[in-house]
Structure formats: C-alpha cells, structure tokens
Amino acid sequence: MKLGIFGGAVNSGTLDDIVAEAASAEGDGFASYWTPHIFGHDALTALAVVGTQVPRIELGTGVVPTFPRHPHALAQQSHTVAAASGNRFTLGIGLSHKIVIENMFGLSYDKPVRHLREYLSVLMPLSRNEPANFDGEMYRVHAGVSAKGSAGFGVVVAALGEQMLRVTAAMADGTLTWCTGPVTLAEHIVPTITRAAEEFGRPAPRVIAALPVCVTADRDGASARAAEAFAGYGGLPSYRAMLDREGVAGPVDIAIIGSAAEVQDRVGALAGIGVTDFAAVETGATPQEIADTREALKGML
C-alpha cells in the first residue's frame, strides 16, 4: 500500500503554501500528494504550479466535481497539469452533492449514475490522448485534445454506492473514498469494485482511502476537534450511507487518532483489506501533534 498526504493548503493558504505542502510531502518520501477542490484555489491550476516546482511525487485531485465542468474542458486542463508535472498527475473526479450542485450552483443533479457513465465515455478516451466520439442523452462530443508533453493521465472516481462503483470499475482506474471506515472498505468498497472489474475484464482498480489522522496524547481533545471540523460531512447523504454501513455516528468515529503505534497499526491494517493507497488527512493542532503525526506516517514508508 502506497502512502500519501491529503493536503489542505489549497483552501487555507496561498499558492506558495500549496507548493511548500507538496514539497514537504515529497521531501518526507510520500508517494503522492492529493488536494481537494472545494471553494478555495482551483485544484488543477494549483497542481500545475506545483508540478513545475516539485519534481517527483504523484499529484492528484480529491476530487473535482463533474457537473460544473464539461468533460472535454476538464480533459484539456488535466492534460496541461500532466504536461506541467512530467506526467505525474491523476485526476480524481466526483459528482459532489445535490445540495452543492443544485442549491449553490443552480445546475441539475438529475440521474447521477447516467451522468457519470456518459461523462466517463467522453473523458476516458481523451485521458488516453484519443478522440472522444460519443452521442448520449447528456453529452454529444466529437473532439480531441492535443497538449504536447502530456502522455495522458489516470482517472479515479469518488464512487461509494454499488452502481457508482460498477460504472467506475468498468470505465475508470479506481476509486477514492472519504468518510468510509475500514469495515465498509473491507465488506463493500473493495469487493464490489474488484468483482466488477473482474467481471468487465478490467485491470485491478486502485482503492485510495482518505481518513483523518492524528498522533496525540490528548485523544479527547483531538476527537473533539475532529468532530467539529468534519461534522458537516455526516449530514451529506452519500457519506451518511457509508457511516451507517460502518455503524458509527459520525466522521470522528472513523478518524485514526491515538498513539504513534496505534495510528501505524490502524493505517497498516488497511493494506490487508485491499486498500492500494492511503491518503492521510493530518489533523494535528499543536506543533507536537503535527510533528508526531508526520513522523508516525514516515515510519511506515
């Protein structure tokens, strides 16, 4: 299992902060650096900047919402990031949530599974530097992209439900999960996407799990902070379904909080259930917690 860092500077910092965060992850030996795309800096543009300055680590988005961006436009931007980074880019996409797409953006969230299938029908050939020739109900695209320096890019999907996992297995390179605990990963995510990939004659998919991590002597304090910071995710239907499968009340209950040994044991156990990549969301609040969390993760490399 590869270990990576899921950064937050794209929302909380400057472009220089994002570059520094990625450089720190690379310097410490991590395999990948992932960044969300919410309401801060544009993740793709930021990673293009990172790619020109941080030379070795895999760069990925976790994740870019599909509904606001045409798949051809997203492919063109992704090829640019791939070229800027020397072909180290993995595009993570997701549907986002109905409350965001409809209430905030004023777009339709209708038939999300069909949307994903048609979106990937356009995006995946483009990701391989092949033209898209697709006529569906939502997209009709006959166009290519020619971005010199790009050899293409991988695509992973924030797929959680069974139908989404099957579409992802059939068409993309894997899934990237959030608010999904080890029981749900072991009993639902990994077997569903793996079986589907085998059924469709596809390569074994990546399963990238992102979870909050904190090494601390103040377990109660760290848990209280995590409960407050991540509370909103527990009310979103797709994440709520995963938390219910796990049998927990909220995201804090699947956060990896404790001593260095406890954190290493819980992260390491994910490899045994089929997780191929772990992206740590470091949540230390004090200099000691920040340093100890990073050291514990580095100790697993």
- As a whole number of angstroms, the distance between CA 197 and CA 39 comes to 33
- Rounded to two decimals, what is the model's pTM? 0.97
Mean pLDDT, rounded, of the chain: 97
DSSP state of 51: H
pLDDT given at position 38: 94
Kind plus residue range of the DSSP H or E element containing 182: helix 182-184
Torsions phi, psi of 273, nearest 5?
A: -105, 5
Going from the C-alpha of 56 to that of each of 66, 137, 138, 196, the distances in angstroms are 28, 41, 38, 32
Q: What is the pLDDT of residues 19-78, one digit of tens each?
A: 999 999 999 999 999 999 999 999 999 999 999 999 999 999 999 999 999 999 999 999
- As a whole number of angstroms, the distance between CA 24 and CA 243 comes to 32
Q: What SS3 class is residue 160? A: coil
pLDDT > 90: what percent of the chain?
100
Query: How does 230-261 read in b/e, with b if 16+ C-beta sit within 10 Å?
Result: beebbebebbebbbebbebebbbebbbbbeee
The residue type at 277 = D
Which residue intervals of 2-70 are DSSP H helices? Answer: 9-12, 15-27, 43-53
Q: Are 50 and 22 in contact (CB under 8 A)?
A: yes
pLDDT band at 283; cut points 50, 70, 90: very high
